[in-house]
Chains A and B, each alone.
Chain A
C-alpha cells in the first residue's frame, strides 16, 4: 500500500492499521518531512518511508514507477491535502488537486496498482436551507463562485477522482469523511473550538456529525479491502448540536447576531492569527449537515465505532491555549 499524507495524524493511524493487518506485506509511506522527522515507526517490518513533494509531477511519477513498482504495491491511499485554511494560491492548489489528478493519470498505466482510495471531505457538500439535513452522496456540491479556495480545491479533487471512476484501470473509491475533530487534520471545526470563546450565530444551533481518527482509518481499510468503488460518505459516531460540541470541548459558547460574526472573526484572525475562517464555515454554523452513511454501511461494511474522546480533546485544547499564552507572553516581553 502507498499512503500519501503519511505524516498527518490520519496518515499515521492508517499506517498503524495497515501494519497490524495480516494481509498487508508492504507499506510505502510518503510525506514532505524528512525520514528523521516523520514520526513513523520506521523500524516496523514492511514499512518504508519516502520524503517527497507531490506538487511536482516528476516526483509523483518517480514515486509510482520507482518505489511503488519495485515493492509491487497494489493500492494507493491519497490523504495528502493542505490543512491550513489561511494558505491559498497555486502551490496549495497543486498539492490539493494537481497531485490527485497526476496520481490518477499515472495509475492508468501502472503495472501493479489496482485500487485508489481518496480521503475526501464532507465540506464538499453545499449546505443551506434548501439542502437536506441528511446528506447522501447525491447531494449538490459546493460549486458556488464565492466558495473559498479551501473548499473549491476539495471539490475539484473529489470530482477529479469521481470523473475517473469506471474509466481507470484502478478501482477508485472516494471517502467523503465527516469533520475530524483532532489537531492537524485540517478541520475547521477543530479550529473553531480552539478558541476559548466560540462565537456562533444567534438563533442557530445546527446538527453536526464529527468523526474520530480511528474511524477514518477503519473506513480507509474497509475501502481497501472491499470490491466496491464509487463515492461513500463516512460519518462519525458523534451526531450532536453545535452548542453541545462547544460545551463538550469546554469552550464558552456565545451566540452573536449573524451579521457581526464575519467582522469579528476577521478581526480575531488578524489579531491572533487563528486558523478558523468564518467564510469557509459560515453555512455549517447555520444549517444542519449530517452525513448519511448508509451506502458505506451496505457496500463497504463500515459503521462508525469510535466516538470522539471529548475529554482528551478538552485537555488537548487547553494545552494548546496554555502554549499560545506562553508564546504571547514571550512576544509581549
Chain B
C-alpha cells in the first residue's frame, strides 16, 4: 500500500507546474465556472501524483471512479437556519427526550451554538462532496485525525449536519478515556459522541446512525507537526464494523487541521486516562482554513461473514486508507495556503 510521504512534493503542491496550480486555484475559487473542468483537473493531478510515487493510490481511486468533487458547496449557513435543521433531526427517543446513548436535542443545540462560530468565522470551513453522505442507514465516516484537540471531529460533525438532507447528527466515536473526563464526557454525550466500545458502536450501527471514526485514533491527533498529512497506523475496526453491519464507508479528508495547533512536546502524564499531555506551540489553535473533502460511499466486503476474515478486513481498511490519502492529496493541491 502506498503511503503519503512528507518528502513527496506533490502532496504539498510544490511539484505542480505553475499553470496547473493556477488552474486548480481557479477551480476552487470559482466552482461554477470550473465545475465542468474539475474531472480533467483531477486527472491532471493524478498524473502529477503518478510522477510523485502514489501510483497505487491513484489507480485504486480510478478503479472506483472516486474523484469526489472539488466544488465547495457552502462556506456556512445562517445561524437561524440551524434551529430549523435541528427541528428536522430524527432522534430515537428512548424516553424523556434522550436516545439510549445520551443524545438529546438540547445538547445538540448547545453544541451547535458553541461550534458554529468556530466553523463559520474561525476555521471558515469549506465543504466538498458532502452530498455523497447517504441520507439514511448506517454509515461510517472514516477520516484522518490531527490537531491536538478533536476540533476536526467537531467540524466534520457540524459540516455533515449542515449538508445532509434530512439533517443527520453525526455520532463521533470517542476514545475510552473521553468518558472519564468530567463535564466533557457529558457535553460530548449529549451532542452525540459515543464511546469507542464494540457494544456501543454496534448498537449505533444497528440503529442506522451516521458514525464518525478516526481509524488513526489517539496517535493521529498527537502526531508531531513534521508528520502532518501522513496517516498514523490505520486501524481496521471501522472496516470490520462496516462489513459486519453492512454500513457504507465514506472516506473523509480534513485539510487544514494538521496545521492548526502544532505540538512541540508530549509529556508522559496520564490525566483521566488520556495517553499524554500535549504541549502546544501556541496558546490557541491557529485560524487555519478547514477543507473537508468527502469521497464516494464505499461498500466493503460481500457479506457480514467477511467480517471474520482478517485478511479481507485488512484489505478493506487499506482501501479506505487509500481513499482518504487520495482525498488528502487532492485537497492539499487545491488549497492556496494554510490560512486561505
- Point out residues on A near B: beta carbons under 8 Å: 129-136, 139, 201-207, 209, 237-241, 244, 248, 258, 287-288, 290, 292, 307
For A241, what are the chain B residues with a Cβ–Cβ distance below 8 Å?
A: 96, 98, 102
In the complex, the answer to whether B102 meets A133 with C-beta atoms within 8 Å is: yes
* Minimum Cβ distance to chain A for residue B2 (Å): 35
**A176 CB → nearest B CB, Å:** 15
**Docked-complex contact A238 and B102, CB < 8 angstroms:** no
List 4 other contacts, CB 8 Å, given A136-B199, A238-B95, A238-B96.
A129-B179, A130-B197, A202-B183, A292-B203
Q: A239-B96, A240-B95 are in contact. Are A204 and B182 (CB under 8 A)?
A: yes
Residues of A within 8 A of B186 (CB): 203-205
Question: Could you give, for residues 173-209 of chain B, a 1 whenever the CB lies within 8 Å of some chain A CB and a 0 otherwise?
Answer: 0001101111111100100001101111001000000
Asked if A133 and B185 make an inter-chain contact with CB atoms under 8 angstroms apart, the answer reads no
Minimal beta-carbon separation of B311 from chain A (angstroms):
26
Give the docked Cα–Cα distance between A287 and B273 (Å): 15
Do residues A207 and B199 form an inter-chain contact, with CB atoms below 8 A? no
In the complex, how many residues of chain B place their beta carbon closer than 8 angstroms to a beta carbon of chain A?
26
The 4 closest A-B pairs by CB, nearest first: A203-B182, A132-B199, A239-B94, A240-B96
Would B179 and A287 count as touching, CB distance under 8 A? yes
List the B side residues contacting A131 at CB < 8 Å.
197, 199
CB distance A129 to B98 under 8 Å? no
Identify the closest chain B residue to A201 (Cβ): B182
- CB–CB A139/B199 < 8 A: yes
Known pairs A203-B182, A203-B185, A239-B100; A133 contacts B200 (CB<8 A): yes
Complex: A203 Cα to B94 Cα, angstroms? 23
Residue contacts A-B, CB under 8 angstroms, 29 given: A129-B177, A129-B195, A132-B195, A132-B197, A133-B100, A133-B200, A134-B100, A134-B200, A134-B203, A135-B199, A136-B199, A139-B199, A202-B182, A203-B183, A203-B186, A204-B185, A204-B186, A207-B102, A209-B100, A239-B94, A240-B95, A241-B96, A241-B98, A241-B102, A244-B96, A248-B96, A258-B182, A288-B101, A288-B179
User: Which of the listed residues A134, A209, A238, A244 has the most CB atoms from chain B within 10 Å of its own CB?
Assistant: A134
Q: Is A134 within 8 A of B98, CB to CB?
A: no
From B180, which residue of chain A is reached at the shortest CB distance?
A: A129
Q: Which residue of B lies closest to A130 (CB)?
A: B176
Contact with A along B94-138 (1 / 0, CB 8 A): 111010111000000000000000000000000000000000000
Residues of B within 8 A of A (CB): 94-96, 98, 100-102, 176-177, 179-186, 189, 194-195, 197-200, 203, 273
Contacts of A258 in B (CB 8 A): 182
> For B189, what are the chain A residues with a Cβ–Cβ distance below 8 Å?
207, 288
Residues on the B chain within 8 Å of A130, using CB? 176, 197
CA distance A206 to B195 in the complex (A): 12
Give Cα A226–Cα B89 distance, bound, in whole angstroms: 39
Q: Is chain A's binding surface mostly helix, strand, loop or mixed?
A: loop
Provide the residues of chain B in CB contact with A288, threshold 8 Å. Answer: 101-102, 179, 189, 195
Q: How far is the CA of A123 from the CA of B186 in the complex (A)?
A: 22
Query: In the complex, A281→B91 CA distance in Å?
Result: 29
In the bound complex, residues from chain B placing their C-beta under 8 Å from that of A135 are 199
A129 to B188, CA, bound (A): 14
Most buried by B among A136, A139, A239: A239
Q: For A287, what are the chain B residues with a Cβ–Cβ distance below 8 Å?
A: 179
On chain A, the residues within 8 Å of B101 by CB distance are 133-134, 207, 288, 290
A307 to B180, CA, bound (A): 30
Q: Are A133 and B194 in contact (CB under 8 A)?
A: yes
Question: What residue in chain B is nearest A138 (Cβ atoms)?
Answer: B199
Nearest opposing residue in chain B for A242, CB measure: B186
CB distance from B318 to the nearest CB of A (A): 28
- How far, in whole Å, are A189 and B98 apart by their CA atoms in the complex? 19
Is the Cβ of B96 less than 8 Å from the Cβ of A133?
no
Residues of B within 8 A of A207 (CB): 98, 100-102, 189
Interface centre among A136, A204, A206 (most CB of B within 10 A): A204
Residues of A within 8 A of B183 (CB): 202-203
List the B side residues contacting A292 at CB < 8 Å.
199, 203
| Complex alpha-carbon distance, A204 and B187, angstroms | 9
A290 and B54 CA atoms in complex are apart in Å by 47
List the B residue with the shortest CB-CB distance to A238. B95
> Please, which residues of chain B bring their CB within 8 A of the CB of A205?
186
- Asked whether B199 lies within 8 Å of A239 as measured between CB atoms, the reply is no
Please tell me if the beta carbons of B182 and A132 are within 8 angstroms of each other in the complex: no
Most chain A CB inside 10 Å of its own CB: which residue of B95, B98, B182, B194: B95
| B residues near A248, Cβ cutoff 8 Å | 96
Give min CB distance, B111 to chain A, whole Å. 15
Contacting pair A129 B273 (CB below 8 A) = yes
Q: What's the Cα separation between A207 and B98 when bound, in Å? A: 9
The residue on B at minimum CB distance from A244 is B96
Across-interface contacts of B182 in A (CB, < 8 A) = 201-204, 258
A307 to B200: give the CA distance in the assembly, Å: 24
Chain A hits for B200, CB < 8 A: 132-134
**Cα A307 to Cα B94 with chains together (Å):** 11
* Chain A contacts for B102, CB-based, 8 A: 133, 206-207, 241, 288
